[in-house]
């Protein structure tokens, strides 16, 4: 089965600083999905990456897919308190199902 390792498990950043989190797959990535979860709430879809080298941005969040490394990174520029939460990556297992990593917990301090 496909396993996704997310690193770092948790990080604390000061408001205004940049941060990067990573998601590494044990198998070839056919599609990589980033979600954000606030405590006690459901998952909100952020971005989908399907092609090697693909890069997408939304507001201050940029996600990249490195097909050779079987890895995706999510970069947040000038972090704000609204960026705090758990970021989960999910990979398409080829059968219309997503396998998820354990998440990156992000804390933004004023």
Partner 1 sequence: NAGVTQTPKFRILKIGQSMTLQCTQDMNHNYMYWYRQDPGMGLKLIYYSVGAGITDKGEVPNGYNVSRSTTEDFPLRLELAAPSQTSVYFCASYGGTGGLEQYFGPGTRLTVT
| Diameter over CA atoms, the chain | 43
Residue 91 burial (CB count, 10 A): 25
Judging by beta carbons within 10 Å of its beta carbon (0-12, 13-18, 19+), is residue 94 exposed, middle or buried? exposed
Per CB under 8 A, the segment of 13-21, 51-59, 64-72, 92-100 that binds partner 1 is 92-100
26 near partner 1 (CB under 8 A): no
Distance of CA 27 to the CA centre of its chain: 17
Candidates 19, 21, 33, 108; binder of partner 1 (CB under 8 A) is 33
- Per rule CB under 8 A, is residue 31 in the interface with partner 1? yes
Instruction: Give the binding site for partner 1 (CB under 8 A).
Output: 1, 4, 9, 31, 33, 35, 40-45, 48, 50, 88, 90, 92, 96-103
């Amino acid at each position: 089965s496909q396993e996704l390792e997310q690193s770092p498990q948790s990080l604390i950043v000061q408001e205004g600083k940049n941060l990067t989190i990573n998601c590494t797959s044990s198998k070839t990535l056919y599609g990589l999905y980033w979600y954000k979860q606030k405590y006690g709430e459901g998952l909100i879809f952020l971005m989908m990456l399907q092609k090697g080298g693909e890069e997408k941005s939304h507001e201050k969040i940029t996600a990249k897919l490195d097909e050779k490394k079987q890895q995706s990174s999510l970069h947040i520029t000038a972090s704000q308190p609204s960026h705090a939460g758990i970021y989960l990556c999910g990979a398409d297992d080829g059968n219309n199902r997503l396998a998820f990593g354990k998440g990156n917990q992000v804390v933004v301090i004023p």
